[in-house]
Amino acid sequence: MAKQKQNNTIFVHLLILFLSLSSLSVSATTVVSLLQNYGKPIFRSNFHTIYDTSNYGLLQLSNGLALTPQMGWNSWNFFACNINETVIKETADALISTGLAELGYVYVNIDDCWSSATRNSKGDLVPDRKTFPSGIKALADYVHRKGLKLGIYSDAGAFTCQVRPGSIFHETDDADLFASWGVDYLKYDNCFNLGIPPKKRYPPMRDALNETGRTIFYSICEWGVDDPALWAGKVGNSWRTTDDINDTWASMTTIADLNDKWAAYAGPGGWNDPDMLEVGNGGMTYQEYRAHFSIWALAKAPLLVGCDIRNMTAETREILTNKEVIAINQDSLGVQGRKVQVSGINDCSQVWAGPLSGSRLAVALWNRCSKVATITASWEALGLESGIHVSVRDLWQHKVINGDAVSSFSAQVDSHDSKLYIFTPSTASYSLK
């Protein structure tokens, strides 16, 4: 019975994936019709205003990557500059042994500090001889043997943020070198940028990566300075919308709100990037990390783990391995969820929601108040017709908690915690009306 249901679900997902893939080349408006496709009057007329996808960046870069947000790990948030080839290899091993890789976390991304302070006599970048004595190619081979992918870091400026050589005016040589090593992903930072606008500095690396002939994920990191959502869809597979995250509640909530502004611009091929996860780094509570992960998943953010995955607590692991939450992030429709309803002191009781494939909605009740609160999501705010019956599945409890909710849904949420649900409207019950 359960197996049967699962098979059906997989079939539906494949069908939707097929439908969305076959419409990708047509035009951006296909997404709107995809949302309307279900014909039944489930959604209110304000649905497309709430979930505006008019700027949905549909495969603009066309390198075949980022159909869903990228998943993996990045060295910066936990290790900063204290990296070496041992720690990268052990992390790759841990991605496999913890089961994270199997859930989709496949990019092993080395951030700043892998390179020597100067280029060699030929002008090439050189891995730091002390910390990466075997070189990056050996590391790429190592992670590839495990079925993982290797990411590297450089900077669209004269130096990286930690003052290693940057790639501006060396785009072709550096891209060729990365491709020759078997690199699969480039995070491209914004330090020492010589005052040249990002719109001028980021496209040359896109073109250089493309010309290598190797498929390389291009992650733009210009910190949201020049509103990259407005132009980066044609340049990169993701673009940072904000300054760096840090391991605090204040930083995480601020960044979530800043990133929300650009929701209409994300889509398959190009994603808003509110920066890497801090889950497991110790600066926030279990509830806060659960909210962080819930909102990043719903907002179609890249899920790049930023802790030491060789040494995760059971709680950290439980959060990062929640398959149902990951499935929201990786849903084939690729529409970014957003803040749809607020109430309470400083708008601290919040409802975030987004459309999913199969006429479903992802809904988060996020309590940013200092006390426990009951938060209500109204059908009106969610864009659902008032008579619609909804089955509510709790993705942290892993069960359906209300098979027949009508007109609104409420739950008590702990301070700084977030509940996360999938709402499945029942079309049958509506047609009986």
Ligand X SMILES: *[C@@H]1O[C@H](CO)[C@@H](O)[C@H](O)[C@H]1NC(C)=O
One residue of 9, 82, 343, 370 binding ligand X per CB under 6 A: 82
Structure tokens at 33: 């019709």
Report d(CA 135, CA 89) in Å as an integer. 12
Strand 349-356 and strand 271-273: the pairing is: unpaired
Shorter beta-carbon distance to ligand X: residue 79 or 262: 79
Report d(CA 245, CA 254) in Å as an integer. 9
Contact call for residue 63 and ligand X (CB under 6 A): yes
Contact call for residue 281 and ligand X (CB under 6 A): no
- In the complex, the smallest distance separating the C-beta of residue 412 from ligand X, rounded to whole angstroms, is 28
- In the complex, the smallest distance separating the C-beta of residue 284 from ligand X, rounded to whole angstroms, is 12
Active site residues: 189, 244
Question: What's the helix, strand, coil split of the chain in %, to 5?
Answer: 35, 20, 40
How many residues form the binding site for ligand X (CB under 6 A)? Answer: 18
Structure tokens at 112: 């700043």
CA distances from 140 to 145, 172, 292, 372, 405 (A): 9, 20, 30, 47, 50
Going across the sheet that includes 107-109, the strands are 271-273, 238-240, 217-220, 185-189, 149-155, 107-109, 71-74, 303-305
Candidates 78-86, 139-147, 229-237, 376-384; binding stretch for ligand X (CB under 6 A): 78-86
Candidates 23-31, 66-74, 91-99, 243-251; binding stretch for ligand X (CB under 6 A): 243-251
* Interface of this chain with ligand X, residues 86 to 105, rule: CB under 6 A: 86-87
- In the complex, the smallest distance separating the C-beta of residue 132 from ligand X, rounded to whole angstroms, is 10
Structure tokens at 209: 């990566």
Contact call for residue 213 and ligand X (CB under 6 A): yes
Candidates 84-92, 103-111, 231-239, 294-302; binding stretch for ligand X (CB under 6 A): 84-92
* Interface of this chain with ligand X, residues 172 to 201, rule: CB under 6 A: none
One residue of 55, 60, 84, 407 binding ligand X per CB under 6 A: 84
One residue of 51, 73, 79, 153 binding ligand X per CB under 6 A: 79
Report d(CA 192, CA 285) in Å as an integer. 35
Shorter beta-carbon distance to ligand X: residue 246 or 429: 246
- In the complex, the smallest distance separating the C-beta of residue 204 from ligand X, rounded to whole angstroms, is 14
Shorter beta-carbon distance to ligand X: residue 84 or 376: 84
Say if CB 88 and CB 123 are below 8 A apart. Answer: no
Candidates 31-39, 77-85, 136-144, 226-234; binding stretch for ligand X (CB under 6 A): 77-85
Residue whose pair of structure tokens reads 């939450």 in the numeric block: 325
Report d(CA 384, CA 388) in Å as an integer. 7
Contact call for residue 251 and ligand X (CB under 6 A): yes
Shorter beta-carbon distance to ligand X: residue 252 or 298: 252
Structure tokens at 286: 């279990």
Residue whose pair of structure tokens reads 């992903």 in the numeric block: 185
Say if CB 201 and CB 232 are below 8 A apart. Answer: no
Shorter beta-carbon distance to ligand X: residue 82 or 412: 82
Shorter beta-carbon distance to ligand X: residue 78 or 271: 78
- In 30-85, the DSSP E strands lie at 71-74
What's the maximum distance between 2 C-alpha atoms anywhere in the chain?
A: 77
One residue of 46, 180, 311, 412 binding ligand X per CB under 6 A: 311
Contact call for residue 25 and ligand X (CB under 6 A): no
R_g of the chain computed on alpha carbons = 22
Candidates 45-53, 207-215, 343-351, 390-398; binding stretch for ligand X (CB under 6 A): 207-215
Contact footprint for ligand X (CB under 6 A): 62-64, 79, 82, 84, 86-87, 210, 213, 215, 246, 248, 250-251, 254, 311, 313
